[in-house]
Chains A and B, each alone.
Chain A
Amino acid sequence: MLKTKRKLGKSARIPNKTSKKAARAESQEDLTAEDPTHLEQSSPSSDDGFDEPEPIPAKKNPSQSTTKPKINKFKQRGDAKNVKPPTLEEMKELRDTQNLFHSNLFKLQVKEMLEELQLKPKYTEFIDNWLESFKVFTQQLKDGLMERTHLEVPLNMTQKPTGFVFSKPTREPYLIGAAATGTLLGPKIVVDVALEMPKESLHKEDYLNLRYDQKRALYLTYVTERMKESPSYAKDQFTFNYYANNPLKPVLELTPVAKQVTKHLQVRLFITAPLSSFKPGRFVPWNNNIRPSLFNDEWDEEEPLPSTQHYNANVLFDLTLAENQAHLEKAFKGRRNFQDGLLLLKVWLRQRELGIGYSGFGTHILAAYIVYLNAQRILHQSSSSYQVARTVWNQLANTDWTKGISLAPASSQTEELGKLAAHYDVCFMDFTGQLNLCANVPLSVYQRVREEAKLAVDLLNDMKLNSFPLIFMQKCPLYSRVDNILKITNYSCVDQMLLLHSQPQFKYDYAKYGYPQLLQLLTDLLRKGLAERIQSIIPLERATEAWPVENKAPVIGKHIQLGLILQPEHAYEVLNKGPAANEDPEGAAEFRRFWGEKSNLRRFQDGSITEAVVWGTAQDAPAKKRLIVRQIVLHLLEHHLQVEGKDVQYIAAELEEVYRLSPWFKVNKLKTKLPLDQDTDAEALSPHVIRCYDELARQLHGLNDLPLEIVSISGTSAVFRYCEPQPVLPQARVAGSHILTSHVQRVIIQLGQSGKWPNELTALRALKTAFLIEIGEKLEAQCRLQWVLSAEGLLVLKQGFCFLIELAHSKELALLKQEVTERGVTTYVDNPASRALERHHYILPKVSGALHSLHQTHSAFGPTVLLAKRWLATQLLDDGLWPETATELLVAHLFQQRQAPQAIAAPQTGFIRFLQLLAHSDFNGELFLLNFNNSWQEQQIADLEHSYRSDRQSYPALALATSYDMQHAGRLWTSEQSPSQRVLGHVTRLARHALEIIETSLMSKDLRFVRPAQLFRASNEGYDLVIQLKPDLVPNSLSFDLGSPFVSFSQPNFLLPPAGADRLARIVRQLRSAYSDFAAFFYNPHGGKELAIVWRPPTEFAPKPFKVTELHACTPCENGKVQVLKETLIEDFKLLLKDFYLRIATPEELKREQREHQQPKRYFNAKQSQEEPKPQAKPKKQKVRKDTEQEAPPKKKKRLIKSSALKALN
């Protein structure tokens, strides 16, 4: 900068050339490695926003000599290389970044991705060469009669293929689609080539009754056969496939064996025909080109023939291909920005799986749309690739194609366009004005694309977000974006539906292709029946598999899969109300007809008497209400299409079983006033606890004569935010001086301000205890609640629930943080203890509240967390390995961040997305920020991300931050130990595996959806040792048990432990704190009865030299070295788990035994087992226990050990 200015001063006086020289000389003088040309260019940069003051030579000159030493001084001060004067190019780039891209980062990311996507030159070379050789090949083709062929014609033909007269193509084959526009996309590159049938080979009557399609298929077969005979293609792999799942559009898929492109490149050969082959107007949408007589149907002579607009568009696609292609090529050729823009859009579309299959929104539509926008002058020639993509999204989101748009230049007559559009859902006319490019796109898919586009624009506009990965990198398979899935794969069922229920005009229109007919039939029916309960019904398609050319063409379209996106506000309504019977009798009759016997005449509270269908009661559990849509769909299918429930698969809520109440536990044995069902679940039980808590809070607020008022009460247990996966039943009760319960609900209270609290930690705690006792006594006296004081707080029993009341005081936190520096200054520094206290007493209540309100807006949040937590628990990951709040926050992240246009409405979908999040996240590079209430500002986020990037080591492996923990951002909810890098990797692998299972079962034609046991049971492999605990000492959880990976089911016990004592968790915590250098411990926190152990790598157990500081658990071995012995450690485990463990074995042993167990028992087997030594040979110490119920007496234990045929590892 400095120099520039000086130079400018000079250049005003000295002629141009000399100034250049002078600049060069000066720059050398300054000994900086600057490029002189840059210096020169910088002179006109004054209009670049850097408002250089106009040099005033007369005044400046004297100061020159004085400034010079200053500059040098400045330069020497340090960052010399950063203070180059900005060059014109640099300024331009910076400005471009600001104007043309969203931000520097976005631009760079786009650049990197485009580089990644760039086609290697070897492929382009190959394509050119291949096309040349193919041109030569086609020229050598000769006219002739196809008498017989050893290939199967890839079309279900009505006539024999013999007698087809081939006439050689008159036009050279040419590239179409992505290859022509230069937007080929890997990893499998598909090059589309079109070969035009000459006009002569088509008869003028060929437009009728699929004759054109047959000719086309025959032509394709003939060419294929000649190609196979030709030596230059002999080694290539030939397959046929249907283009876009359209059985009338077979294409040849040729995979060349050439070394340079092996397997990565495929050529698709399309057969087309010239536009002039048929009379113009033959294929306008309102014409009929497939006569009913083709299918031996009768048609009333009087009636006009039904229009076959979809079939017509199908033929027109071929006819107009050449012309459309020419236009596209003209628009894209040499315009890198358009090509890149299209590439971006293609990536975006492909990640969303919206372009697949018959009803897909193909990328050629996007290409045409870019041209359209360019023609409309909305998109400028020089727009950057980012602008192209952005404008397309913006226009997609804000325009409506249902009225029709057109690329044709002469399409000014809007009536014409309207007439065309009336025949299709979505209308986008091509360059010729004849073909609707979106002919096969159903309205729902188009709307979905629009919504996605809108979301993309929104994401781009959100400056707080790095939107790039969300838009381009994240895979969003369609199945994980829909809430429920209807799958009909039963062949006979489909046939019956097509035969009996599909209207004939659709049959002709789709040329008897089943899939679109089914789609039409089902979506019409379901949309009418579900009305506002759903947002959309989206077809889920898979591309058809290619088949060898010798095989017969497969019949496709005999199954259908529909994804339903629910509208959560209305989907769970229990009532469908029809018109009033007396006011609108016709409507009522129609309503009755539609719903059949389900519809009844009902009288409502407002006095109206109307037809109505009732699907449940308002008091039903949420899980039950979520299945109302399923009920309706199945009823409609049965009532209208005579399809029984067993013939279809309706995928919804299969996995939700896992948080149900265990069927072993009988609710009717419980003494409670609450109305409870046997088939209740954790989700439905949470409100009971919350209601009880609310009442307790009211009682606490109403306590008289407390020295200080209670100002705030907040529940911090998971159940208060609907995130407790184990059902909480009102079981807690008092036994002697104890409260027995399996769940303790934590409540934090805060008292009013007072200046009289002591300034010493212990005194403060003493006073807190006194206060709690006071509260307890008052509660007993005024509300007749029983209470027990514990070290953590006050245990209060209310209506069968146990609450732990803790007192939070800001002074305690301050005292914990307090430190006195060497200068005698008091400072407040965070330390682990203070951080834990702050989280527990101050931050968690706030986050809990935020999550609670998140559940209020998205009712699927709670159950999704339940599924996620259950899944992690069944993978033997407890709170110590993977913090439970981390799960909650990750799921909240899913619900908060707008990754899809619609929020998740079904917990199962939420769970699938959670798995996706775990499987595909870059935990190392990403910090999960939950910006509740948007309280993080843009700058703060940027700072946080910067610190996260530059100082990654200081953050835990999984970093989470919320709005309420800004000072601790990223370090509060997780730590280096939980989850550790290893556990994180383990979870990622598990999630990938689970996703794979789900995906295959969802996408396969034959498989049913996964059983919960497939997902919610850990594998028993990879563990070194299993410590089996005594089943009668460890109470079962009330949640639905899918079995342990190691042993078969045992008799469950539902004993209540004393409040606040999770023995297993405590023991495992102890084991971890002492032995985590040598082994990792896993158990299922939801009632698991085994402790699985994995030894650390053998290097930990290798002999090492004697060192005083590294001697933990070592035993001497040879050469004066020491070593850790596994056997000693096992002895330690046994000692610590005394009275708890049944035996220690390897998983293999357990597996073997389980197998033996299943075999019929023989006499000698049983005898042998009895002879085995018992692990618990030692005499038991008598234990003073009042509550005998929670621990079985020793006698019973012994009997149990005897009865189980187990071998101890001694």
Chain B
Amino acid sequence: MRTAPQAKYCHSVYMREHFIRLMDPNKPKGRTLFLLNIPPYVTEDSLKTVFGRAGTIEAVEFAAKPGKEETIKWYEGTGEPFSTTRPPFSFKVAYVVFQKSSSIGKALALKSIDLFNSSGECIVQTGMQLWHEEYEGSYLMEARKAKLQVSKYMAGYDKRERAAAEAAKTGEADADGWVTVGKEGRNAGFEQKASVIGRLEQKVARDHKSKELKNFYTFQIRESKMQNIVEMRKKFEEDKQKIALLKQSRRFKPF
């Protein structure tokens, strides 16, 4: 990979046809090129430009390392509007999906990935240029545009919500025979939250406990005493361990 025509030291990118047993539908067999060791500053667009010479490209995707869920992980939370999450800046792998499988051969025949255009300028944005772009483009937001975006998104959201609420109210089984149970309505179930469930479970346990007699049988008293001693010893042992640790780090020499 070259960033400038006369570059002396450059990164070596390894590529081959993407082929694994469990294929991902987004990376179809025969049309996907798999690239290793892509430097952090390379973007999807720049790869599109470079491999566009070999054929029309459907998609370019990155991942931290080869693997099934890695691509999803890489892009997690980045596509959403109003989110500041960006994909990580590090060395990565890339998947280039061509429209035709014939493009793979052409791509593999490429001697070098030239990240510069005909005039020798680098097509990867870096330095001041990139910074400027980022600041203007994504850090600053134009209030008017943002407002429009918000109202559009919220309209969509409201629609979805309404539909869900509607579904919950009607309480009819869908095609698979599932009934949506909301918080409202006649058949409202309790919220499936860990805290709610925990509280319920606690209550049951408490009820159990209140019925139980703890100091009734002699063996119970005995056991509780025993427990007490065990705990004291445990504490003593712990303290001893702590001292041993401290001793290792020579913390007992005052001078």
B-binding residues in A (CB < 8 A): 1-2, 5, 50, 67, 70, 74, 79, 82-83, 86, 94, 104-105, 108-109, 112-113, 115-117, 186-187, 347, 350-351, 469, 472-473, 737-738, 758-763, 765-770, 773, 776-777, 788-792, 821, 824-828, 833, 922, 924-925, 946, 949, 1033, 1058, 1060-1061, 1063, 1066-1067, 1070, 1073-1074, 1108-1109, 1111-1116, 1125, 1127-1128, 1130-1132, 1135-1140, 1178-1179, 1181, 1183, 1185, 1191
Decide yes or no whether B255 CB sits under 8 A from chain A: yes
Is the CB–CB distance between B192 and A824 below 8 Å? yes
Is the CB–CB distance between A1138 and B157 below 8 Å? no
Q: Among B140, B141, B191, which residue has the most Cβ atoms of chain A within 10 A?
A: B140
Is the CB–CB distance between A762 and B128 below 8 Å? no
Is the CB–CB distance between A1136 and B126 below 8 Å? yes
- Partner of B191 from the list A1, A67, A826 (CB cut-off 8 Å) is A826
- Partner of A1115 from the list B11, B124, B191, B240 (CB cut-off 8 Å) is B11
Which residues from chain B contact A1139 at a C-beta distance below 8 Å?
127-129
Decide yes or no whether B234 CB sits under 8 A from chain A: yes
Given A86-B229, A758-B161, A767-B154, check contact A105 B249 (CB 8 Å).
no
Given A1073-B90, A1131-B7, check contact A765 B82 (CB 8 Å).
yes
Rank and list the top 5 A-B pairs by shortest CB-CB distance, nearest first: A1138-B127, A765-B82, A827-B194, A1112-B91, A1139-B128
Other than the given A1-B222, A473-B252, 18 more pairs (CB < 8 A) read A86-B229, A104-B239, A109-B252, A116-B254, A117-B254, A770-B150, A790-B139, A792-B139, A946-B238, A1033-B128, A1070-B89, A1111-B36, A1113-B39, A1128-B11, A1130-B9, A1138-B122, A1140-B128, A1181-B129
Given A769-B82, A789-B143, A946-B238, check contact A187 B255 (CB 8 Å).
yes
* Selected A-B contacts with CB under 8 Å, 29 pairs: A1-B225, A67-B219, A104-B235, A115-B252, A758-B161, A760-B157, A762-B153, A763-B153, A763-B154, A765-B83, A766-B154, A773-B147, A791-B84, A791-B140, A826-B194, A925-B245, A949-B241, A1033-B128, A1060-B139, A1063-B131, A1073-B88, A1108-B36, A1108-B66, A1111-B37, A1128-B11, A1130-B9, A1136-B41, A1138-B128, A1139-B129
Is the CB–CB distance between A1116 and B246 below 8 Å? no
Number of A-B residue pairs with CB-CB distance less than 8 Å in the complex they form: 233
Given A1128-B9, A1135-B122, check contact A1070 B40 (CB 8 Å).
yes
Is the CB–CB distance between B225 and A113 below 8 Å? no
Is the CB–CB distance between B9 and A1125 below 8 Å? yes
- Partner of A350 from the list B37, B91, B249, B255 (CB cut-off 8 Å) is B255
Is the CB–CB distance between B146 and A769 below 8 Å? yes
> Which of chain B's residues has its CB closest to A1074's CB?
B40
Given A924-B249, A1139-B129, check contact A2 B153 (CB 8 Å).
no
Decide yes or no whether B44 CB sits under 8 A from chain A: no
- What is the CA–CA distance of A433 and B254 in the complex, to the nearest angstrom? 35
Q: Which B212-249 residues have a C-beta within 8 angstroms of A?
A: 219, 222-223, 225-226, 229-230, 232-236, 238-243, 245-247, 249
In the assembled complex, the CB of B145 is this many whole angstroms from the nearest CB of chain A, namely: 10
Is the CB–CB distance between A473 and B251 below 8 Å? yes
Which residues from chain B contact A765 at a C-beta distance below 8 Å?
80-83
Decide yes or no whether B29 CB sits under 8 A from chain A: no
- What is the CA–CA distance of A473 and B249 in the complex, to the nearest angstrom? 13
> Which of chain B's residues has its CB closest to A103's CB?
B239
- What is the CA–CA distance of A737 and B144 in the complex, to the nearest angstrom? 13
Given A347-B254, A765-B82, A1138-B128, check contact A825 B197 (CB 8 Å).
yes
- What is the CA–CA distance of A105 and B161 in the complex, to the nearest angstrom? 59
In the assembled complex, the CB of B140 is this many whole angstroms from the nearest CB of chain A, namely: 6
Which residues from chain A contact B194 at a C-beta distance below 8 Å?
821, 825-828
- Partner of B139 from the list A473, A791, A1070, A1132 (CB cut-off 8 Å) is A791
- Partner of B252 from the list A2, A105, A116, A1115 (CB cut-off 8 Å) is A116
Is the CB–CB distance between B124 and A1135 below 8 Å? yes
Please report the total number of B residues contacting A with Cβ < 8 Å. Answer: 86
> Which of chain B's residues has its CB closest to A1191's CB?
B128
Is the CB–CB distance between A925 and B249 below 8 Å? yes
Given A773-B143, A1109-B65, check contact A472 B254 (CB 8 Å).
yes
Q: Which B120-158 residues have a C-beta within 8 angstroms of A?
A: 120-122, 124, 126-129, 131-132, 135, 138-143, 146-147, 149-151, 153-154, 157
- What is the CA–CA distance of A1070 and B240 in the complex, to the nearest angstrom? 46
Which residues from chain B contact A5 at a C-beta distance below 8 Å?
222
Is the CB–CB distance between B41 and A79 below 8 Å? no
- What is the CA–CA distance of A469 and B4 in the complex, to the nearest angstrom? 61
Is the CB–CB distance between A1112 and B37 below 8 Å? yes
Which residues from chain B contact A351 at a C-beta distance below 8 Å?
254
Which residues from chain B contact A1183 at a C-beta distance below 8 Å?
128-129, 132
- Partner of B226 from the list A1, A116, A828, A1109 (CB cut-off 8 Å) is A1
Is the CB–CB distance between B82 and A1114 below 8 Å? no
- What is the CA–CA distance of A1191 and B80 in the complex, to the nearest angstrom? 32
> Which of chain B's residues has its CB closest to A1114's CB?
B37
Is the CB–CB distance between B239 and A105 below 8 Å? yes
> Which of chain B's residues has its CB closest to A820's CB?
B192
Which residues from chain A contact B219 at a C-beta distance below 8 Å?
67, 70
Which residues from chain A contact B242 at a C-beta distance below 8 Å?
105, 949
In the assembled complex, the CB of B133 is this many whole angstroms from the nearest CB of chain A, namely: 10
Which residues from chain B contact A760 at a C-beta distance below 8 Å?
157
Which residues from chain A contact B187 at a C-beta distance below 8 Å?
none
- What is the CA–CA distance of A1115 and B37 in the complex, to the nearest angstrom? 9
- What is the CA–CA distance of A94 and B197 in the complex, to the nearest angstrom? 43
- What is the CA–CA distance of A507 and B4 in the complex, to the nearest angstrom? 86
Which residues from chain B contact A1138 at a C-beta distance below 8 Å?
122, 126-129
Which residues from chain B contact A1 at a C-beta distance below 8 Å?
222, 225-226, 229
Decide yes or no whether B12 CB sits under 8 A from chain A: yes
- What is the CA–CA distance of A1109 and B197 in the complex, to the nearest angstrom? 42
Is the CB–CB distance between B82 and A826 below 8 Å? no
